[in-house]
A and B are shown apart, each in its own frame.
Chain A
Amino acid sequence: MPKGNASVFDSPQVRFLLRMPLPRAWSNHIGRKLLRFLLTIQGLGAFALITLGVMLTKFRLARRVVWPLVFHEISRAGLRLLPMFAFLSAALGLLVIGQAVSWLTRVGAINYLGTIMVLVVVRELGPLLAALLVLARVGTANVIELGTARALGEVEALEALVIDPVHYLVMPRVIGMAVGVFSLTVYLILGALVSGYLWAFLQNVPLRPSDYFQQLTGSLDVLDFAFLALKTLAFGFIIAIVTCYHGLAQPLRLEEISYATIRAVAQSVIACVLIDALFIVVYLAT
């Protein structure tokens, strides 16, 4: 997309510098990495803003075409991953409870079982795991689909038909992934809490369901729900933005798609972890 790419870093001089064979030196290695990092941040930021702008201004435009795509993406990034998440929630409940029970019984602190579930599953592992799995299952497919479409000239075809590629290709994916990660996280957490109790029950922990439920509610507050919603929506948004950016934003050749996929996955993981860290900081501050 040639429209919004004018920038300080993204000049032919900088591009040349990044390709130039320089002598091996730490300073130049770090310098290149830093320039690439800044370029990526700038590109991603611009792409995110463009997408948000399109979502705000064109939300109702051509809705008989775009809204079915939104539902399709929600189904792809949410509904169709449910079986895997059912399995995963059972496993997550087992591994958290399994570890916690063995330690808590030794120190006589079995009353904290619910608290630990909230700390580990609700606040941290649940959202992050859901985001990473959606990235692995749908995000990678995103880069490959869009990268192929870009390399085969389908994006130019959209432009020639006066269809905004961001509106037609990116917006459904962003909404689909944000809703998908959010809903899957909710199901994952609910599943893990239930399976956690079942595993505790099987390990003969003397804990009534009502006590367990009270432990859970006691360690949750309103902020947890707000943060969970915000965090998972942010995960979904950022994964969609990073994967769409790497698939669409630069002209790709077919042989470059695998590299674009690798970059997109690495950057999505880093972005998700950074958002998670940001939420911890905010959480500790409140």
Chain B
Amino acid sequence: MKEQTTSSGPLIEMAGVSVGALRDQSTLMAEGVNWTVSGGDYWVIAGLQGSGKSDFLMMTAGLMAPAAGNYTLFGEQMPIFDEARLPIRQRIGLVFDGGQLFNHLTVSENVALPLRYHRNLSAWQANERVQQWLEALELGPWADSTPGALGRNWQKRVGLARALVLEPEVLLIDNPLGGVDFRHINWWLGFLDVLGRGHPLLGGKPVTLVASTADLRRWRGRARQFAILRDRQFVVLGTWQQVESASDELLHELLMTEAVKE
């Protein structure tokens, strides 16, 4: 029902795409990726640490060019580095694993920066919108702290606020549940549900979500589509039922249903 409202052609379409590592483009992290994301999808990409989830998401966000293959985002050929087409990349947001906040700016300045830069606003002009987002993500008390004063739990959340302030249609979230405590895990899962349905600050428009994870269990009943990254292969699994019925050793590890083999 929700999917139908926004689905109009695929937003992300990859055919035979290879992904290089960010530090060294010649090291391939994934090869031959075929993947289609439609509006309203809620994907979870599972993989162990070092399987290339982050590089994959960074490539998807347009930070680097695909090493091979064909990748179109919103119907536009990637990579986009030329000025004229750059606004297309503003429609896709990326939340980094560690938040990757600007350490010399306060939390509210971090969140304000993309808004101010792209709309050419002064600090006070952007303030109202930024405060709304900070309140929505319960970050109000931290507004004037620098990222160094925040715990990892909250740094990630600031990263989310900074990505959301540009109101992206597709949001890529790198390992949102990694290294945060249970209360925050529940908060993230609940908030992503809200985003998927449509957040009031985004005008109720559903956001297409892609999250990566090393622990599949928590996404049961939340995400609608699943894929795993292993041995440089991107394998689309489908729905949760298909995840549970698939017989894959790695999957058992990611679901933590079986002890890791010696």
Contact = CB atoms under 8 A, between A and B. Distances in A.
Interface of A: 2-3, 12, 57, 61-65, 145, 148-149, 152-154, 156-157, 159-163, 168, 251
Contact of B120 (A63, A148, A159, A161): A63
Contacts, number: 70
Nearest to B92: A160
Contact of A162 (B25, B90, B120): B90
Nearest to A253: B23
The 3 closest A-B CB pairs, nearest first, are: A157-B100, A160-B94, A161-B114
Grouping DSSP codes into helix (H, G, I), strand (E, B) and loop, the A interface class, with mixed when no group exceeds half, is: helix
A157 B120 CA distance: 19
Contacts of A251: 22-23
B117 A161 contact: yes
B184 interface: no
B180 to A, nearest CB: 18
B86 interface: yes
A62 B22 contact: no
Given A12-B26, A161-B162, A154 B117 contact: no
Interface size class of B (residues with CB under 8 A): 35 or more
B166 interface: yes
A162 B122 contact: no
Grouping DSSP codes into helix (H, G, I), strand (E, B) and loop, the B interface class, with mixed when no group exceeds half, is: loop
12 contacts: A2-B25, A12-B26, A63-B120, A145-B104, A152-B100, A153-B100, A156-B100, A161-B163, A162-B87, A163-B113, A163-B114, A251-B23
Contact of B102 (A62, A154, A159): A154
Given A64-B116, A160-B94, A163-B117, A2 B65 contact: yes
Contacts of A156: 22, 58, 63, 96, 100
B152 interface: no
Contact of A161 (B58, B113, B122): B113
A98 to B, nearest CB: 43
A62 B125 CA distance: 13
Contacts of B100: 152-154, 156-157
